[in-house]
Amino acid sequence: RRELRSRMELLIMETQAEVCRALAALDPGASFAVDSWERKEGGGGISCVLQDGEVFEKAGVNVSVVSGLLSEEAARQMRSRGKSLKAKDGKLPFCAMGVSSVIHPKNPHVPTMHFNYRYFEIEEADGTKQWWFGGGTDLTPTYLNEEDAVHFHKTLKEACDKHDLKLYPKYKKWCDDYFYIKHRGERRGIGGIFFDDMDSPSKEEVFQFVKSCAKAVVPCYIPIVKKHCHDSFTPEEKLWQQLRRGRYVEFNLVYDRGTKFGLLTPGSRIESILMSLPLTARWEYMHNPPESSKEAEILEVLRNPKDWVH
């Protein structure tokens, strides 16, 4: 239990349970399908997915702890980010663990939310271990509500500020840059925080930072769901939600690093990797919302990210 790997494993399990309990309390008529799986190459995980509830159309909270040998494609992807990985006989033993969630609500006035916190360890040819943490939490509203955006960002900023005042602005910008749909010229949502390859100042300090971020998930999001889950909406607003979800799918399948890593890892569980995709989405040819509309308002923020906390 004193080893950091064990403590991280405990943290991701606790986070999964905490988030599932909070979601189930808001959607009591629905239930999570709990699916334990094993990976023959090493490790496994637990997927908890709620579908077709009154509040949530699809909400998944997954944990996985896997180990084995890194595939050549995955190693190439890491080297492209500047990792110098020295393999022994072409082999790189690794251990990866994390908790990942995507929540797609039914009501278009409740935003989609995603979070992921993970730990990675690789053993190189000489026996030395490279380790790093990554993760983040971000919000994807269909319609812009400034009060919600400020609450979401302020809660994440408070979690970051406990550790270093420089972290929130740095990781907020990283989030805006990472969740960028290049072929559309817009962000996936209104951001939050995102970081990767975090391996300093020390393993313990980074773990405590990740723990603070994981503990901020419920307070940054659940109050927004409670506030809007019974809002009335029109068929036109539901249609706009479906179109925005199409963008969510485009980002996840074309750019998302976690999806790519999962698809490149032998023995990975495809159902869990693609859990992030919404139950329903829509692509209309050449759809453009009218100028000065509520739909155009959110597009403006997605094209030009805002500072929500100052």
Model pLDDT for residues 237-289, shown as the tens digit of each residue: 999 999 999 999 999 999 998 898 788 877 778 888 899 999 999 999 999 99
Let me know if residue 304 belongs to a domain.
Answer: no
Contact 9, 97 (CB under 8 A): yes
Model pLDDT for residues 129-185, shown as the tens digit of each residue: 889 999 999 999 999 999 999 999 999 999 999 999 999 999 999 999 999 999 999
Let me know if residue 81 belongs to a domain.
Answer: yes
Q: What is the pLDDT of residue 204?
A: 95
- What is the amino acid identity at position 175? C
* Active site positions, annotated: 114
Let me know if residue 221 belongs to a domain.
Answer: yes
Phi, psi for 126 (deg, rounded to 5): -90, 5
Average pLDDT, the chain: 93
Which of 40, 38, 36 is CA-nearest to residue 49?
Answer: 36
Which of 160, 163, 94 is CA-nearest to residue 131?
Answer: 94
Q: Helix, strand, or coil here: 19?
A: helix
Contact 305, 106 (CB under 8 A): no
Q: What is the pLDDT of residue 112?
A: 98
Domain count, the chain: 1
Residue 110 and residue 54: Cα distance in Å, rounded?
A: 13
CATH code at 17?
Answer: 3.40.1500.10
What's the pLDDT band for 296 if we cut at 50, 70, 90? Answer: very high
Range of the domain at 57: 4-281
Let me know if residue 56 belongs to a domain.
Answer: yes
Contact 250, 180 (CB under 8 A): no
Count the Cβ atoms, other than its own, within 10 Å of residue 199: 12
Residue 277 and residue 273: Cα distance in Å, rounded?
A: 9
Q: What is the pLDDT of residue 262?
A: 82
Q: What is the pLDDT of residue 89?
A: 67
Model pLDDT for residues 93-145, shown as the tens digit of each residue: 888 999 999 999 999 999 999 999 999 988 877 878 889 999 999 999 999 99
> What value does the mean pLDDT take over residues 30-35?
93
What's the pLDDT band for 1 if we cut at 50, 70, 90? Answer: low
pTM: 0.93
Using a pLDDT cut of 70, give the percent of the chain over it: 97
Q: What is the pLDDT of residue 211?
A: 98
Let me know if residue 289 belongs to a domain.
Answer: no
Contact 66, 42 (CB under 8 A): yes
Let me know if residue 294 belongs to a domain.
Answer: no
